[in-house]
Amino acid sequence: MEKEIFELAGKEFNITSPKQLGEVLFEDLQIIKNAKLTKTKQYQTGECVLSKLVDKHPIVRLILEYRSLTKLKSTYIDALPLLVNPKTKKIHTTFNQTVTSTGRLSSVNPNLQNIPARTEEGRKIREAFVAEKGFKLLGLDYSQIELRLAAHMSQDKNMIKAFNDGEDIHAATAAKINDIPLEKVSKQQRREAKATNFGILYGQGTHGLSQAAGINFFNAKEFIKKYFASYPGIKKMVDHFLKEAEKNNYAITLFGRKRPLPDINSSLPMVKKAAERMATNTPIQGTAADLIKLAMIKIGDLIEPKSDEIHLLLQVHDELIFEVKEEKLDYYAKKIKKVMEEIMKLKVPIVVDISWGKNWGELK
């Protein structure tokens, strides 16, 4: 890849140097005129800048690929083998209970919650994590838990109906926003609806949604308007979260855990906006974090006496990963799924997806 980049550039240079890369792209190759500069008068070569220029020259796509591969190599392939414990021959992470503001566990030294899963190369790295002989890895994942919590907390009839009817919530949202039958929803429309579903929950405004969904500002504005018309309960819920946060100076989860928001009444618009985003997403994200912790406590009671048969290895966002004796796989998968789905009663079903394999890459 490096050779290909040098051929297209017409010379060798340090690809990881923003200064040299900027000069190659915007002076030597002149892929665009009037390229943006940083405060130190260097060309901007960040990912968000380059991703908009992929159609301008074949070198840009190669540079982005080169960057993602070098990141995988340095962060995981080179680093992880050095962290193997010489006694146990395993990697042991540390989980923090009180670092994330949402209340989720975080993982450090190494961070095993961000081992990539979306790319083929990332999945290959996950394949390096293997179960002991006679054991398999078992993954149980809460399906769309934040949207299910949003349906429950907002009491929105349309969203509750979609979940209770077992519909694909993103397709159902796309159908509503675009006023078309469910079966006519295109992949692009579903993608836009998915970005809107999560964008609203994360307190994104029009600008944030237009970037996340890859649509222009005007369309994003219309999307939000139609979204709230389709799910009026969600609009009421968001307004309620903001009002309560402004009154109390904190956001609260369904289980009563509070997150202080001292900037919610700030006179500085940008500071206030950031606090409003937290006020919108904390009740939902925080409740999801509480929910999985409660499930882990109950699962702990179930599996601790059987530590020779099963143990919990990882919590990655809404998923728990166990190592289980092969002959006990089906037994524990059913037991744990039941605990996770019954940990709390919602107005919509809680759904847990199960996957297993000899290595982490085979899960999902």
What pLDDT digit, counting tens, does each position of 54-91 carry? Answer: 899 999 999 999 998 999 999 999 999 999 999 999 99
Closest CA to 30 of 52, 6, 57, 55: 57
Angle, CA of 122, 124 and 128, to the nearest 5°: 115
- Which one of 230, 264, 283 terminates a domain? 230
Distance CA 159, CA 228 (A): 11
- The pLDDT tens digits of the residues spanning 142-168 come to 999 999 999 999 999 999 999 999 999
Together in a domain, 321 and 257 = yes
Span 87-115, mean pLDDT?
Answer: 91
**Distance (Å) of CA 101 to CA 69, 279, 320:** 31, 12, 20
Span 28-32, mean pLDDT?
Answer: 90
Query: Torsions phi, psi of 266, nearest 5?
Result: -65, 150
Together in a domain, 139 and 169 = no
Res 349: pLDDT: 96
Residue with the two structure tokens 């799924």: 337
Contact present, 156 and 233 (Cβ < 8 Å): yes
Res 222: pLDDT: 86
- The pLDDT tens digits of the residues spanning 215-246 come to 788 888 888 888 999 999 999 999 999 999 99
Res 202: pLDDT: 82
Asked if pLDDT for residue 212 goes beyond 80, the answer is no
- CATH code for position 20: 1.20.1060.10
Q: Is the dihedral of CA 299, 303, 304, 305 positive or negative?
A: positive
Span 317-340, mean pLDDT?
Answer: 96
Angle, CA of 270, 193 and 221, to the nearest 5°: 45
The answer to whether residue 200 is domain-embedded is: yes
Res 196: pLDDT: 87
Asked if pLDDT for residue 213 goes beyond 80, the answer is no
Give the pTM.
Answer: 0.86
- The pLDDT tens digits of the residues spanning 240-263 come to 999 999 999 999 999 999 999 999
Span 354-362, mean pLDDT?
Answer: 95
Together in a domain, 52 and 96 = no
Q: Domain limits at 333?
A: 91-155+242-364
Neighbours of 104 (CB within 10 A): 22
- Which one of 230, 262, 293 terminates a domain? 230
- The pLDDT tens digits of the residues spanning 311-326 come to 999 999 899 999 999 9
Asked if pLDDT for residue 112 goes beyond 80, the answer is yes
What H or E segment, with its residue span, contains residue 302? helix 269-303
Query: Directed axis angle between helix 232-248 and helix 269-303, to 10°?
Result: 100
Asked if pLDDT for residue 214 goes beyond 80, the answer is no
- Which one of 78, 100, 126 terminates a domain? 78
Alpha helix segments (H runs only) across 111-215: 120-126, 145-154, 157-164, 169-178, 187-201, 206-213
The answer to whether residue 86 is domain-embedded is: no
Mean pLDDT of the chain: 92
Number of separate domains in the chain: 3
